[in-house]
Structure 1
């Protein structure tokens, strides 16, 4: 997955939004642009689950006759190859990029109330096999919608600094060596729609929280919930999540659209240490008091021009938390202090796109710049070019969390990607 990092990122950067293991060939294409892996882009969206059933229980036969498709298959295949030379020639290091992965998913409709979704993924050269998702959806009287099993739960708005994605937060002593998939989550999610909004209740744990997966304890499970209120003027979400091994956190997310082209969002978070004691945290080699209560907030916008040919996204984020800054499925943790981000995308033609991603953290004085381009040679064949640059000290920030296995400050990436998707239904 790491080598796929550059090819997938450039594709998504042209349209925004932003989005394991040690690199097997040096450059992590997915992580460099902080995008979800292909297996996470399956069609598991909520509207399918939260829409009213097609027929009542007594009309299951009629429902089947009206819609014979009860089983859906999807296969995604990606093959990448490239070359990545270093730009600092005093300690030259060039790498070869090669990767292959396949993801297949099955979407089965048992009846009008019960649906099962499962996906399987294999990667080369890791020969890593994973089950990213295996969950069931169940509807109770068109009032409650439940999803339980291995699933991905995402809260909040910001795609750059996802500090309000509370289910994705990890404790500082999270056990990341228990097995091959410590971050995989098991959860029960219950949704109760209220107009265009609704209420969501969540119980969630992860492999890394479980001392004995066969005998989980209630203290190893986190509980939370959120309420969403949406209308034509704004979309507001307020929620809280608590896990016994982490601080309690409450958040709000607010977004609105102006002039049909400007999207504004603003979020806030309060974190409280349940033991009520101040501790000391080491951030980028500096000692910092870890307060009992911390406040964090951001503000961001997204604008498109010329029929979405030119896109701009910017965000300011102040992180008041000194600890528990790691999240699942992201490359860069949440750095303490003032953070800034700017993303530009320009579609020069239907087949050519350019982008620029920039991030800066004031406390560590660390910055990341990624200019690049994507050229679509054929629908299934694309070429990617990027030149990631990392500025700042080696003690922390984007240098330490550089997705490049050799921690190179400046390097080129030239890659081609062959990909395809097949869908069938019965």
Structure 2
């Protein structure tokens, strides 16, 4: 087969290598040829590539409405191609927020249980890079971008943590974004499992024939599921019983509690002892830039939640906060509603400091509800926050926006925040 792999990031390079290993004729193309592409030759994308190829595999960052893709005979995503080649049990995690943490926790539980499990997908490495090893279990973080070109993609356990407004700069509207989240369940059959947030109105109905299992902080109204009773995970329905305890004596935040709840539920569905989940939770120190405590200076706590790239993640972070918060918001605008956040949490937001491309809109939306002002960069934002904070306050970087206007990634943004905090000392 003649295959065009479009994109020279990690996903594109690994896809090209695997397709060559599978015996296909491959062209690796991009709209800009990198200065160094390793051992694989790269050519500039041209219309002839679409005519030549039997199949085009675009990297997730390529918009599905790109005119070149309309000229292709067939388009499949990297996860679709990888899933066809993998023979192990596929556990796929999607959702607007919490995917990386939940995927990591499930993988650690499986490996702690002694199972042959690998992690991949939207979290490094790409799913295609696992094909050669072909592990018994694959735990995959899956984004809506990756689901845009699936055809037969079918996880044995599919998980959707939540759906909140995100990527509205890529999708026409919220309905289209929801469609590409829920499409992951379309091909599931009766012997598969769909693990769904019972409290999320977008997830009340999904396509597919899988067994439905719910989760929420409160007991789901009926059927199999998991919920919290204090710090104890509990199961109901055909899987009824007590699960692991969540770690006590530290502030987990609602986001991490939910991720642990779902991970424990998946372990239960796989027949693993709850003590394994409890051990993993006790050892888990979190993921960098996900509600991560940086320092406490003169009684002021600084928290790095740079991974909060949409208002849903921001809302989750604030819902778990106690005491006054000085909130650093902004970045590349994704169309989120910040006025809703300001109204809901006006009792705990001392002030908002806005940075980046979205700063003007943010200040305009929230300034009638809470104190708000601009900062030219992260250094000024952190400095202003510390000057305005009182002992007992928290300075929270939870931007609710993408990072690419000012930073290389959300991780880079978080590191700059940490450097600015440590420079205060």
Alignment TM-score, normalising by the size of structure 2: 0.28
Greater RCO (Cα-Cα under 8 Å, separation 6 or more)? 1
Higher strand fraction (1 or 2):
1
Alignment TM-score, normalising by the size of structure 1: 0.28
